[in-house]
Structure 1
């Protein structure tokens, strides 16, 4: 019997790899996911129960992509008969005449989004649990809300398998051998495909280096904090939106979500953390992050206990400009690189997966992929 050759092998079962595989299966392609950990693991960037979703981006190309991302989540809901997001709105917060808020409003208006521009008094009246300086305003993206992250990841993998896709977990990739047909060796065997997608999160650079390519990413451990409500139900999705205060780098953005994972506890985090190795992510450091969150909650959220009751960790794979890397390997064009999602990729995963799947089967994606080219970084190296 002839050895099976897949159309595409996807390395990594996180949300980007799973979205890519899901899209390939829906296009009638035979795909295999290889994953080094048990599937639905908590070692990377895609675990957990919730993520923010929003149309609101200052970059028009992301807002344009998000229009389709919402449609794709709705399609996944229909396919699986499950609710995958909660429409509580996403509030962008900042000083009056802030350049970031102006850019966000311009991008939202261009796609005809439902937006509420709130003065400080209007913001206080609508969200009395928030307290910001008088010169601060809010921009409510009414389409935004909370993604049920673990449910989405499970749904993508379920449909992928239903359509004939294969997932092999607990199989670390040992090597990729380029050619007209690519061979991928793992700890348990070898597999062949017309093309390969490397979507291995924080381990992507490690996999690419033997192929003569190093991408400029840093790995950060982000501490997600849960702060207890002083009054029951005051920070539930019925009353409290997702929010983002864009501060730049440093002092870095702050973001939060309503009570969901833990009843009565709002989720708040700083958009950065200590640089780490993904293989030693749980070493104790970075108390400065929780101190920063505590001070922020004390200043702006009088209805919450300022000291977090619960903390959890996640990994960001950051590029220098916080745009993604989605591109062909410069020498081996049937190897697609997808990494550097910089802590804001989950909401865009359905669209990104569709674009990557097109690239992997020789089609031109319908989205503007120029912002995601490897060549934009002078520090990207062919080794």
Structure 2
């Protein structure tokens, strides 16, 4: 049967973590689902590659802490189905001056997430491998830890196929023809038809949305992923060093870190920022200022790490203006649904994002306040969801 003769219940465009998790949830619900990926798999041209990601309940917005409670449950289901160990529970330490942690603590309390507060003396006693300012305090998120990113992505894709889904890579969609049945054209000359379309394209979102007359306020940025060598072997192993978030970090920008795990004796430590880029031309961006700021921070804060990065890799964040996600229907075409703007914190939420988007496809009302994720929140006169804090 020719591809144009098949009409899928849903076509998901983009096989990163959000698209793959969504396709998995849809196929699991019995929806005939096609998952399209523009690049040959596996690839490192988006936001879902690499070995690890931080996961946590600690958020300044209580809604994300609540969502992560369910997301942890969904990760456990995927682990059981796939037979793969995807989550390592080493805890997450969130540090900053006291005022910055008030909302984070409130979100944890409201959602009954296990945590404890640490004073400066406790910080120095329990984490002698970190040097922090005397005015810092911390929260230890007991459910925090590490997601094995590459394994998680493959697990979603493999389970999606086991539930009857179809995955096609090397199929870049270059046109969208809306209608009751949406037609997608790809650069290979294929046509694909679906009753519903979900666009989960990360930094490439606006390229395809332009075909539908819509642009979202998205900024793809290139984030250098930096690895720093231990001066003493094992000083920052996962039994001595949890995942780490400094909410003020360098010049007010958060810094995050993971224990030595991916590469022997190397700690991942990164600035949550970088230059705005065209994702197709990311290599030309100047990231020297990010590297310089991180070298200064590591030298001051992590005395047992070499202050010059040993390895540098690249990730792309696709930021929305308020760093909250877009999970919404196209304002003109009800059967086109958009997932974008994950702003560097979407990986851990992926299983739940998949369930929310599947609910939208099936006409169900998600259990969370979707005003946070609406496209219209940036319309003139619209209410920014951060006002609900």
The verdict on a shared fold, with TM-score over 0.5 as the criterion, is yes
Check conservation: 1:256, 1:268, Cα contact below 8 A: yes
SS in 2 for 1:366: coil
The aligned residue for residue 18 of structure 2 is 16
SS in 2 for 1:194: strand
Distance 2:242 2:376 in 1: 38
Distance 2:59 2:157 in 1: 28
Q: Does 1:184 align with 2:184?
A: yes
Check conservation: 2:12, 2:34, Cα contact below 8 A: yes
Displacement of 1:91 in angstroms is: 0.7
1:200-248 per-position Cα deviation (integer Å, ceiling 9, x unaligned): 1111111001201010001100001100001111111111011111128
Distance 2:15 2:360 in 1: 18
Give the CA RMSD over aligned residues: 1.5
The aligned residue for residue 353 of structure 1 is 354
Q: How many residues align?
A: 378
| Residues 1:289 and 1:376: Cα distance change in structure 2 (over 3 Å) | same
The aligned residue for residue 151 of structure 1 is 151
The aligned residue for residue 213 of structure 1 is 214
Check conservation: 2:277, 2:285, Cα contact below 8 A: no
Check conservation: 2:275, 2:285, Cα contact below 8 A: no
Q: Mark the runs of 5 or more structure 2 residues left unpaired by the alignment.
A: 382-389
Displacement of 1:251 in angstroms is: 3.4
Distance 1:263 1:11 in 2: 36
SS in 1 for 2:71: helix
Q: How does 1:135-150 map to 2 (within 5 A)?
A: 135-150=135-150
The aligned residue for residue 270 of structure 2 is 269
1:165-202 per-position Cα deviation (integer Å, ceiling 9, x unaligned): 11111111011111111111112301111100010111
1:30-58 per-position Cα deviation (integer Å, ceiling 9, x unaligned): 10011110123100000000000000111
Check conservation: 2:222, 2:285, Cα contact below 8 A: no
Match of 2:62 among 60, 63, 71: 60
The aligned residue for residue 386 of structure 2 is none
Q: Does 1:162 align with 2:172?
A: no
The aligned residue for residue 384 of structure 2 is none
The aligned residue for residue 34 of structure 1 is 36
Displacement of 1:379 in angstroms is: 7.7
Distance 1:112 1:362 in 2: 30
Displacement of 1:289 in angstroms is: 0.3
| Residues 1:379 and 1:286: Cα distance change in structure 2 (over 3 Å) | farther
Check conservation: 2:34, 2:166, Cα contact below 8 A: yes
Structure-2-length-normalised TM-score? 0.95
1:64-122 per-position Cα deviation (integer Å, ceiling 9, x unaligned): 100000000000010011110111101110113x1x31111111111211111101111
Displacement of 1:378 in angstroms is: 3.1
The aligned residue for residue 195 of structure 1 is 196
1:106-144 per-position Cα deviation (integer Å, ceiling 9, x unaligned): 111112111111011111111110010111111000110
Check conservation: 1:7, 1:361, Cα contact below 8 A: no
The aligned residue for residue 375 of structure 1 is 376
Distance 1:210 1:75 in 2: 37
Check conservation: 1:195, 1:361, Cα contact below 8 A: no
Q: How does 1:64-143 map to 2 (within 5 A)?
A: 64-96=66-98, 98=99, 100-143=100-143
Distance 1:249 1:60 in 2: 25
The aligned residue for residue 256 of structure 1 is 257
Distance 1:248 1:178 in 2: 45
Q: Does 1:283 align with 2:284?
A: yes
The aligned residue for residue 306 of structure 2 is 305
SS in 1 for 2:253: coil
Distance 2:312 2:265 in 1: 15
Distance 2:6 2:132 in 1: 60
Displacement of 1:362 in angstroms is: 2.0
Displacement of 1:250 in angstroms is: 5.3
Distance 1:182 1:365 in 2: 24
| Residues 1:210 and 1:248: Cα distance change in structure 2 (over 3 Å) | farther
Check conservation: 2:250, 2:297, Cα contact below 8 A: no
SS in 1 for 2:221: strand
Distance 1:124 1:42 in 2: 38
Displacement of 1:249 in angstroms is: 9.4
Displacement of 1:295 in angstroms is: 0.4
| Residues 1:65 and 1:279: Cα distance change in structure 2 (over 3 Å) | same
